[in-house]
Amino acid sequence: MGQLIVRRLIFMIFMLIGLMAIVFAISNIAPGDPARLAAGPDATNEMVERLRVERGLDKPIVTRFAVYLSNLAAGDLGTSLHTRRAVVDDLARYFPATLELVLFSIAFAVLLGVPLGMAGAAFQNKIPDHSIRFLAVSGVALPMFWLGLMLQWYLSLELDLFPLGGRLGIMTPRPETVTGMLTVDSLLSGNFGTFQEAVWHLVLPSLALSLPALASIIRVNRAEMLETLNKDYILNARAQGIGPLRIVTAYALKNAILPTLAMIGLRFGWMLGGTVLVEGVFDYPGVGLYATKAAVSSDFDPIIAVTLVLGASFMLVNLLIDLTYALLDPRVRSQI
Amino acid sequence: MKITRRIATTVIASAALLAGGFMMLPTQDATAAEQVDGKLYMVIAGRQPVSHLDPALKYDLAVRMMQQQLYDALVKYEGNPSEIKPWLAESWSTSDDGLTWTFNLAKNAKFHDGSPVTAEAVVYSFKRTMEINEGPAWMLEGFVEADGIKAVDAHTVSFTLNKPYAAFLSFLPWWYVVNPAVVEANIKDGDFGQGFLQENAAGSGPYKLQRFEQGTAYVLERNDDYWKGFPYENDRMGGVIYRLVRESAAQRAALLKGEADLVTGLSPEERQAVNSNKDISTTSLPALTSFGLKMNTTQGVTADLNIRKALAYAYDYESFIKIMNGEAKLQTSPFTDAVQGMVPIADMPRRDIAKAKEYLAKSAHPDGGFEVEYVYVEGFEIERQMGLAMIDAYKDINVTVKMVPLTWPNMVARGAKPETSPDLMAIFATPVSTDPDAIAIQYHPSSAGKYYGSHFLNDPDLNALIEKARAETVWDKRAPIYAEIQQKIVDLQPEIFGMMRNRGVALRNWVKGYQDSPIRMGGEIDFYSVHLDPN
Amino acid sequence: MTLAESTVPKPMGTGPGDDFIAPETDVAPVDRFREYRRMWATFRRSHSSMAGLFIVILFLLIALIGPWIVPFPEDALGSIHLDRKLQPPNGIHWFGTDEVGMDIYTRVIIGARTTLWIGLTITGLAILIGVPLGLIAGVSNTWIRETIMRITDIFLSIPGLILAVAIVGALGPGILNAMIALSLVWWPGYVRLVQSKVLSVRNETYVEAARSIGASNFRIIFVHILPNCMSPIVVKASMDMGMAILAAASLGFLGLGAQPPYPEWGAMISIGRNYLPDWWWYSLFPGLAIYFTVLGFNLLGDGLRDVLDPKQRS
Amino acid sequence: MQPLLSIRDLSLEFNTFDGTYQAIDRVSLELNPGEALGLVGETGCGKSVLTRAAFGLVPTPPARITSGSVLFNGREILGLSPREQRAMRGRDVALIFQDPMTFINPVFKVGTQLVDAIRAQQLGKVTRKEARDIALNMLDKVQLPNPVRQFESYPHQLSGGMRQRVLIAMALTAEPKLLIADEPTTALDVTIQAQILDLIERLVQDMGISLIMISHDLGVVSQVCSRVAVMYAGQIVEDAPVAQIFDSPAHPYTKGLLAAVPHPFRPEDRLEGIPGSLPNLYNPHSGCRFAERCPLAINRCVEARVAQTEVAPQHMVACIACEGAQIDA
């Protein structure tokens, strides 16, 4: 197992460098002049020239890439024009919020998606199955941002069940930052009131963010469960008189969950992208909102940094998914 | 594959329970927006961020709103119409030649750290602003020198002007007094305390700064032992929170849900919509504020006067009124009606396609075919609708419009330099006093770089007229000069002159004591008299 | 696939009433359309696929004849009528009017045309870039394949939407830039699909047979390999149409896509959100339009996959 | 002596998209305690479906038992509740299947699945520790080398033969009364095949279990079983002691089957296939389903149900055209 991790980590480093190359290419080969992009729209010409020299943007592309990598290594991701702060500090402040939202959403999608997928298989072609399948097909088709607006309108405004947005009431005491994730920090500092309010604020955004993932997990898990339940070893298990509950939740699910894992990994990545939409609707101060604000005022450094961070986290997730896959499937485990 | 329905139903039930688990969490009570251990905090939801707090630096509606609560000035504007009220200075007198003004300070005035507000502190504050020479400094430039301000005794300050200045008193409310001890203690490498005062306060005002969370919320705590006391009895008032909300829809929603007690900057139909709610009321008050689509007179396509005239005559002025649902009046002069010496200008441009084409013919683009960039405040619906009206109107002269929404700080930054100032920029400008000089100065090079000076107009004749009128003290002699100034400004067409709109706020009925004064900028609230009583 | 099907082979079409003396096996004429008729039969049997087909056809129709059937064609080009702004849905304005009096029904219908154009361009460009690369990667087993596949992996490891936002951030907001960005984000999916298909087809016996009788590489690719890739490509293309429309609408919602007064659904919702809840119709109808269109393409994609590519089950 | 298992007039159909598929047509079969019955027929004649349906292992829907009854030890078991049927499986009847590769769950250890089976069969009255000992003992009985290591390993780490032994162990842990072996050796290579057959034969005799051996290989059946029933297209066409089936087959289909098998002692015989193909069972006629391919077929074969007649002691044939059958007027 250790050997797999090492090999994958080395491979990931190459992927990361590749990611930086692509992101670097976007900022340089794009028709826009990189110096003007970095300086921002309201910079004067001589400011742009000064920046060009300062950042060595006039040198050939290869050296510029080397300079770019060394800056990254030194943690200098540039400064944001619209927050007037170093991008690194912004990321430190905003990324934990996005991470909390995405983890919350993927947990919701999996904890609801897998059972519903199983139920869809159990009630095949009955009413519950049709409704679950309709939810699955629409879930993928519903625009996340529009769904967020409708949830906000109905659940928050009309029924006043949930707050409109943000992460916490202004005057609610904030737990001291350990992980930057409010739910975790408030639990660590034992402040249950804040924890409840933090979860409270997470419900609607994570509902909007997780629906497409929930839909896909249902579809994949339902198909896999159907296929697995027809397998011979299930017939054998039933022939031995093993109880249906054990057959479904263990014998079948452990096999069906493997391909579903791949979908969970893929959907986690799309969710990272989806934060760009959902955080805007709910004014949720994460990297998604940070990136869109930067994009609208063509403030370039933050967008590049956020792309890097989200890309890297998606790679990490893919690695974790592969590891769990090896953990669960002995046939794969024995090959490494 | 015989799966009993029983397991499947248990599986769904557990999933529903999980989802339902979220539902049982408590809802927020909605009497007052925020409560912290019994104390009520009033929440004001606005869209404009507070870029800094330093009284000596540039000001806008959000900055000045905060400064007014954290600091005191010698005098203060209150009421409708706006009148100057004694504040730190209980009384004042002027010498016969009108050159020396003497102010007697209130004896009991004290700073937040308990130290008394002395004449020395007043002198220190005025000298600090003059030395930094930003923000309000332009108001007294050329009339008062730093050494002309002296502390006669602990509670008396005298100003010696080098030439008589009618508007002197009308500018003083914007010169706030800082606590010298606190500023001196926080000077870092000769920045005169600017670093410290950026996000901290050293004043004597009715509120203290509790939390300054840039981009999210600014929390002010009520200064219970404020030396001047409060005009209401309510010991439950804990403070005021100015909370940033990105879009007007979110402001409205916060108000409806009771997450905000008062919201500013709503469009007329939004105010109508919230007004229909029984426990929300709205105010609507004509203001000194003028609106103009400032054009860059030095760079780009709008540098050519003919193009500016063409754009002015092609614009559909009726759309201003319709967008404001009738709650506005078209400006008949660069000076708004409430300004002394305002005279209606005969040839104020109105929509006249023939004339527009006439001017176009004389320009470098005889048949149009160019694009203008229109910059407006992101999320400000009124200005966005004007953009759409502009696109429709300019189709007739074959001009396309590129709408660029920016945050207010970015807009001000773009308007600060001739090279980056956009072709057209939507600006609401409120004069700092009713004296005509406060508006005329906006078309003088000394205003270049300020948000209302993004046209960078620099016409020698006009500048001479403004300076002459400024120095004149006898009103009968000033009036005709200002009339000529207004005509000259219209001829130079540095902007498309817009409208005087009513402005107002929407607030929950449990908000009491709200007073608006025309001199205040749109969305600038005076917290002093405001308090909540939820029952 | 239930137990019955797995153990009992499909009977060969002899029914009752045949002469009980063993029938001679006559060879039916090779029916080129039989295969398509069989596909259509299975396709027709699933309600969801038919629903998908119906929605897509309706959408294409609206996109084609839109400008001629809308009540206020000039509204789509940005002409404003402030005196009839923010009217709720009524007899004249079926979907109500927006904040400057433009008829929302007209803009949604014309928006369909924009959306179709966006979807086709993105999917088309992605196929034009992705399929050839996939073929090359599949056929060659030298370093070329490694580089192509590694670049594809890197692109696929970045969440599509944020990469698109980054590209539009560099190019500047606008519908053209948005489409270029999304195409750049979309092609890797096709490379991976085609490459894996080519690999599986390559070592099929009939391909080796063709090679053994001297068929040129070119012929093998375009006669043997590419036709086999067509069905998964068609399936992915129809699913991608929906997803591309959704992504373009998302960029529009962020203000990075179509600029005013261009009628694009995403942009309409981003303005419409300011008018919730009192003028709910402004953001409701464009949202529904996106939902139904994307749903249609997804259902059609599912249906095509069940017919064209049954093995690719999940 | 009361038969252990008696299936009377059992009919079963599957409703699929293409219509209802009449898989089993009024089958009757009996098995006495301690007897070893061979069930022979081509792939797809319904022999597996018959035995599985009898014990509730065929999902309904899409299957549906339209008529008939199944008595086990004199007790009707078709109407049992799913729970009761489940209680029987493993303790009264055990099944082993054809391909050991696919009939063991790949992601669970062999030991876990054995313990699960045992605890299910003992209705949970057995602790995990005890179940483990029973399992190890059983693995030893099926001659599995080094049982403890196999117990802890995963299925893919075992060979085909070893896996089949594990399946047999799993089936017999609760000492069932009836073992249904559904082509247990078909997927194994010949050398292993013989070992497994000997193992089954020995265990069946030692534990006094009655056996139904399902196979399409007459050789396997002749070695293990005392009586043989031949099935064709869902109908039992002949049922007789082993010797009579081989020496004097009565039904034309049985003759055809034997002609297609190389006789060990007459290598020079020419092998002949049976012309034609399987009938379409979507809405078959009610008569003999071999008629289309039967050289002796006459019109009446197709018109009505063909009852079984006794052509010799304990030798039943469902045919009216072959000689030895009474041709009633």
* Higher-pLDDT residue of D227, B37: D227
Say whether B453 sits in a helix, a strand or coil: helix
User: What is the helix, strand, coil percentage profile of chain C, to 5?
Assistant: 70, 0, 30
* Higher-pLDDT residue of A32, B101: B101
Can you tell me the distance from the alpha carbon of C190 to that of A285, in angstroms, rounded to the nearest whole number? Answer: 35
pLDDT of residue C259: 84
* Higher-pLDDT residue of C227, B177: B177
Which residues between 289 and 308 in chain D have a beta carbon less than 8 angstroms from any beta carbon of chain A? Answer: none
Test C269 with A146 for CB contact under 8 angstroms. yes
Nearest C-alpha neighbor of C85 from the set B281, B326, B248: B326
pLDDT of residue B6: 56
Can you tell me the distance from the alpha carbon of A11 to that of C122, in angstroms, rounded to the nearest whole number? Answer: 31
Which residues between 91 and 150 in chain A have a beta carbon less than 8 angstroms from any beta carbon of chain C? Answer: 133, 137-138, 140-146, 149-150
CB atoms under 10 Å from CB of D294, counted, come to 24
Can you tell me the distance from the alpha carbon of C52 to that of C301, in angstroms, rounded to the nearest whole number? Answer: 8
- pLDDT for residue B24 is more than 50: no
Test A32 with C150 for CB contact under 8 angstroms. no
Nearest-CA distance from A18 to chain C in Å? 6
Contacts of D59 in chain B (CB under 8 A): 1-2
State whether residue B15 sits within 8 Å of chain A by CB. yes
pLDDT of residue C128: 93
- Is residue D242 assigned to a domain? no
User: Domain residues of chain A, as ranges?
Assistant: 2-73, 87-333
* C87 close to C72: Cβ distance less than 8 angstroms: no
- pLDDT for residue A120 is more than 70: yes
Which chains does A contact via 3+ CB–CB distances below 8 A?
Answer: B, C, D
Beta strands, E only, B182-225: 207-213, 217-222
Q: According to the per-residue pLDDT averaged within each range, which of A113-127, C100-114, D283-297 is highest?
A: C100-114
- pLDDT for residue B121 is more than 80: yes
Can you tell me the distance from the alpha carbon of B10 to that of B19, in angstroms, rounded to the nearest whole number? Answer: 14
Which chains does C contact via 3+ CB–CB distances below 8 A?
Answer: A, B, D
Please, what is the average pLDDT of chain D?
84
Contacts of C8 in chain D (CB under 8 A): 14, 21, 23, 44, 46, 49, 281
State whether residue A152 sits within 8 Å of chain C by CB. yes
State whether residue B278 sits within 8 Å of chain D by CB. no
pLDDT of residue C2: 36
ipTM over 0.85 threshold: no
CB atoms under 10 Å from CB of B191, counted, come to 13
Please, what is the average pLDDT of chain B?
86
- Is residue D189 assigned to a domain? no
- pLDDT for residue A101 is more than 90: yes
pLDDT digits (tens, 9 = 90+) for A163-186: 888 888 777 778 888 888 888 888
- pLDDT for residue A146 is more than 90: yes
pLDDT of residue B220: 93
pLDDT of residue B65: 93
pLDDT of residue C8: 38
State whether residue C310 sits within 8 Å of chain D by CB. no
State whether residue B378 sits within 8 Å of chain A by CB. yes
Can you tell me the distance from the alpha carbon of B279 to that of B295, in angstroms, rounded to the nearest whole number? Answer: 42
Give the phi and the psi of residue A141 in degrees, each rounded to 5: -90, -20
End-to-end CA distance of chain B: 64
- Is residue D275 assigned to a domain? yes
* C7 close to D44: Cβ distance less than 8 angstroms: yes
> C49: buried, middle or exposed (CB in 10 Å: 19+, 13-18, 0-12)?
buried
Test A334 with D86 for CB contact under 8 angstroms. no
Can you tell me the distance from the alpha carbon of D51 to that of D28, in angstroms, rounded to the nearest whole number? Answer: 12
User: Residue with structure tokens 């039916």?
Assistant: C28
pLDDT of residue A55: 65
Contacts of B257 in chain A (CB under 8 A): 156-157, 160, 164
CA distances from A119 to B20, B329, B506 (A): 18, 65, 50
- pLDDT for residue B22 is more than 50: no
Indicate the residue of A45, A111, A128 with minimum beta-carbon distance to B419.
A45
Indicate the residue of D99, D121, D156 with minimum beta-carbon distance to A241.
D121
Nearest CA in chain B to A118: B8
With a pLDDT cut of 90, the percent of chain A lying above it is: 24
- pLDDT for residue A272 is more than 80: yes
Test A285 with B216 for CB contact under 8 angstroms. yes
pLDDT of residue C82: 86
Nearest-CA distance from A74 to chain B in Å? 27
Interface test with B, best of C86, C274, C284 (most B CBs within 10 A): C274
State whether residue B303 sits within 8 Å of chain C by CB. no
Test D276 with C16 for CB contact under 8 angstroms. no
pLDDT digits (tens, 9 = 90+) for A217-251: 999 999 899 889 888 899 999 888 888 888 888 88
**Length of chain C, please?**
314
Element (H, E) at D171: helix D160-172
Indicate the residue of D154, D157, D170 with minimum beta-carbon distance to A240.
D170
Indicate the residue of B270, B319, B387 with minimum beta-carbon distance to C82.
B319
Indicate the residue of C13, C20, C22 with minimum beta-carbon distance to D280.
C13
Nearest-CA distance from D58 to chain C in Å? 7
Test C80 with B392 for CB contact under 8 angstroms. yes
Test D95 with A241 for CB contact under 8 angstroms. no
Of the listed ranges B105-119, C9-23, D175-189, D267-281, the one predicted with least confidence: C9-23
pLDDT of residue A12: 82
pLDDT of residue B19: 45
Interface test with C, best of D22, D277, D296 (most C CBs within 10 A): D277
pLDDT digits (tens, 9 = 90+) for B480-520: 999 999 999 999 999 999 999 888 899 999 898 898 888 88
Of the listed ranges A120-129, B165-174, C1-10, D93-102, the one predicted with least confidence: C1-10
Tokens standing for residue C228: 């086999």
- pLDDT for residue C221 is more than 80: no
Per-residue H/E/C for B91-156: EEEECCCCCEEEEEECCCCECCCCCECCHHHHHHHHHHHHHHCCHHHHHHCCCEEEEEEEEEECCE
State whether residue C163 sits within 8 Å of chain A by CB. yes
Q: For domain A87-333, which CATH number applies: 1.10.3720.10, 3.40.50.720, 3.40.50.150, 1.10.10.10?
A: 1.10.3720.10
State whether residue A292 sits within 8 Å of chain C by CB. yes
Helix C160-171 with A287-296: angle, nearest 10 deg: 20
Can you tell me the distance from the alpha carbon of B399 to that of C231, in angstroms, rounded to the nearest whole number? Answer: 49
pLDDT digits (tens, 9 = 90+) for C286-308: 999 999 999 999 999 988 888 88
pLDDT of residue A278: 93
- Is residue D252 assigned to a domain? yes
**How much is the pTM?**
0.83
Contacts of D102 in chain A (CB under 8 A): 231-233
Which chains does B contact via 3+ CB–CB distances below 8 A?
Answer: A, C, D
User: What is the helix, strand, coil percentage profile of chain D, to 5?
Assistant: 35, 25, 45
Which chains does D contact via 3+ CB–CB distances below 8 A?
Answer: A, B, C
> What is the total count of domains within chain D?
1
Please, what is the average pLDDT of chain A?
85
Say whether C166 sits in a helix, a strand or coil: helix
pLDDT digits (tens, 9 = 90+) for B336-352: 888 888 899 988 999 99
Test A116 with B12 for CB contact under 8 angstroms. yes
CB atoms under 10 Å from CB of B83, counted, come to 12
* B345 close to B487: Cβ distance less than 8 angstroms: yes
* B176 close to B144: Cβ distance less than 8 angstroms: no
Test B249 with C82 for CB contact under 8 angstroms. no
pLDDT digits (tens, 9 = 90+) for B428-456: 988 888 888 888 989 999 888 888 889 99
Interface test with D, best of A228, A233, A260, A328 (most D CBs within 10 A): A233
pLDDT of residue A216: 92
Say whether A20 sits in a helix, a strand or coil: helix
- Is residue D66 assigned to a domain? no
pLDDT digits (tens, 9 = 90+) for B205-256: 999 999 898 878 899 999 988 999 898 888 888 899 999 887 788 888 888 8
Which residues between 233 and 292 in chain A have a beta carbon less than 8 angstroms from any beta carbon of chain B? Answer: 234, 238, 244-245, 248-249, 283, 285
- pLDDT for residue C22 is more than 70: no
pLDDT of residue B424: 94
Test C269 with A142 for CB contact under 8 angstroms. no
pLDDT of residue B407: 81
Can you tell me the distance from the alpha carbon of A38 to that of A81, in angstroms, rounded to the nearest whole number? Answer: 9
Segments forming the whole domain that contains residue D287: 248-329
CB atoms under 10 Å from CB of D313, counted, come to 8
Cα-Cα-Cα-Cα dihedral sign, residues D241, D242, D246, D252: positive
pLDDT of residue B448: 87
* B235 close to B89: Cβ distance less than 8 angstroms: no
- pLDDT for residue C24 is more than 70: no
What is the arithmetic mean of pLDDT over C112-127? 92
- Is residue D151 assigned to a domain? no
Which residues between 41 and 70 in chain C have a beta carbon less than 8 angstroms from any beta carbon of chain D? Answer: 45
For residue D285, give the amino acid letter: H
Beta strands, E only, chain A: none
pLDDT of residue C7: 39
Which residues between 16 and 45 in chain C have a beta carbon less than 8 angstroms from any beta carbon of chain D? Answer: 16, 18, 20-22, 45
Nearest C-alpha neighbor of A8 from the set C140, C142, C157: C157
Nearest-CA distance from D1 to chain B in Å? 35
Contacts of D56 in chain B (CB under 8 A): 2
Nearest-CA distance from D87 to chain B in Å? 15
Test B5 with A199 for CB contact under 8 angstroms. no
State whether residue C170 sits within 8 Å of chain A by CB. yes
Test A45 with B257 for CB contact under 8 angstroms. no
* Higher-pLDDT residue of D174, A198: A198
Contacts of D18 in chain C (CB under 8 A): 10
With a pLDDT cut of 70, the percent of chain A lying above it is: 92
Can you tell me the distance from the alpha carbon of B86 to that of B88, in angstroms, rounded to the nearest whole number? Answer: 7
pLDDT of residue B23: 43
- pLDDT for residue D322 is more than 80: no
Per-residue H/E/C for D86-122: HHHECCCEEEECCCCCCCCCCCCCHHHHHHHHHHHHC
